Amino acid sequence: MGQVTPLPLDTPEHWLGVMDRLGCDRQAWSRVRERRDVTALLTGPVSPPAASILKQAMLAAGADALVHRLVLTCGVPETRVLVYGTAKCIRAGCESLRGQPFGLGGLAESISGIIGVPDPPASLEVGGTVLNFGPGPLFMGVLNCTPDSFSDGGLRRTPEETVEHGLEMHRQGASVIDVGGESTRPGSEPITPEEQIARVVPVIRGIRRLSDVPISIDTTLPEVARAALDAGADIINSIDGMETPGMPELAGDTGAAVILMHMRGTPRDMQECPEYTDAPGEIAEYLLNRIGVLEKAGVDRARIIVDPGIGFGKRPWDNLRLIQTLPWLRRTTGCRVLLGHSRKSFLGFISDEPDPLRRDAATALLSALSAGMADMLRVHEVRRSVQAVSAAMKGAGR
């Protein structure tokens, strides 16, 4: 009853697709299409009486709700409900649902929780450095300490070479250096925490001795994250949404900032037939749930950056839709948004380039196109993306 999924319904095709899945009367489109800048939320299945009460409460508050066309005659045992309107009107509708039967009070609380998120923070302080978010994105440089990364594994043979590459990315414009010791390419196998620590800690210490640039540790394991933070890292970058036991508590205890990513499955199996009905909505729902877990562990929402997980259990068209809806994801979660598109296979799909190392031009182009949508861009080749974004923003007069 309490399940609520936010939806980015920004085109007639998306509206009509959801209406058809609900079993709505398409004549409702005549009133829906007049609405602008609405918040849209899809509830879990409810009984026809509950759907009718919910619809009337929203209409009375100036919002609306779409239900299956047979609800009035109880011709279906249950229906999902598409609630839409301004946040203010939906909130008023939820107030009138408190105390109603059929579990509608709990559903109203779930809806209110989603539409009541704060504005994303203007800045984030990490390790004594303030990251200021503005009209253009910040850059995160990818620093792999792995022999088998999908795009640059084994290119740097020693910790010293890796440290120098990280510092060079900072000189080129990276505001954060993301250090990882385990490959997460599709089909990859996990390695032990001891091996990860042996790979990343010397590099983190080496960078920290020479620079105060913020460092993130790309890991799913609390042992690795703890060792990295002790070595000088400031941010935990978790591709599994901080689901590994102990990770939320570690972030809460240390005050580390968190990058919270969505992944369907594991790196080993994530690309085995991933399917979504509505990828942005399902991923936003997941991220909101994980934000709630982190907040309960003592992590301030203002210290969380969300990442939809481009290429991690997504089809090419899912990735493109997720990029289009990045501003909506920011509004929906109340968090700043990171885009990790660099050298990903979907870029190879749309540019017909099978070699990851030759996808930097496509990465830079997408960086420029995403300049007004993402708050941070995670890239391997920093200089080219910085130049592309700078040119795009100057051309747009920003």
Q: Which of 147, 299, 145 is nearest to 218 (CA)?
A: 145
* Cβ atoms within 10 Å of 355's Cβ, excluding its own: 9
* Cα–Cα dist 220/236, whole Å: 9
**Higher pLDDT residue, 189 or 196?**
196
Q: Could you give the angle at the alpha carbon of 357 between the alpha carbons of 352 and 361, nearest 5°? A: 65
Q: Which of 203, 202, 194, 286 is nearest to 239 (CA)?
A: 286
pLDDT of residue 1: 43
What percent of the chain stands above pLDDT 70? 97
The encoded tokens of residue 320 equal 């493109």
pLDDT of residue 26: 86
pTM of the full predicted structure? 0.92
Q: Supply the mean pLDDT for the chain.
A: 92
The yes-or-no verdict on residue 153 having pLDDT over 60 is no
pLDDT of residue 66: 96
* Cα–Cα dist 180/59, whole Å: 51
Contacts (Cβ under 8 Å, ≥6 apart) of 109: 2, 94
What percent of the chain stands above pLDDT 90? 78
| pLDDT tens, residue by residue, 284-321 | 999 999 999 999 999 999 999 999 999 898 998 999 99
Mean pLDDT, residues 78-86 taken together: 96
pLDDT of residue 189: 81
Q: Are strands 39-43 and 4-7 parallel, antiparallel or unpaired?
A: antiparallel
Name the residues annotated as catalytic.
344, 378
Phi, psi torsion values for 154, nearest 5 degrees: 80, 5
| pLDDT tens, residue by residue, 233-253 | 999 999 999 999 999 999 999
Domains of the chain and any CATH numbers: 4-115 (no CATH), 123-395 (3.20.20.20)
Tell me the pLDDT band of 117, cut-offs 50, 70 and 90. very high
The encoded tokens of residue 345 equal 């296979």
CA atoms within 13 A on the CB side of 349: 12
What single-letter DSSP state applies at residue 313?
A: S
Q: Could you give the angle at the alpha carbon of 20 between the alpha carbons of 15 and 26, nearest 5°? A: 80
Check if the beta carbon of residue 213 is closer than 8 Å to that of residue 129.
yes
pLDDT of residue 156: 53
Tell me the pLDDT band of 150, cut-offs 50, 70 and 90. very low
- 3 state DSSP class of 157: coil
The yes-or-no verdict on residue 112 having pLDDT over 70 is yes
The encoded tokens of residue 303 equal 């210290």
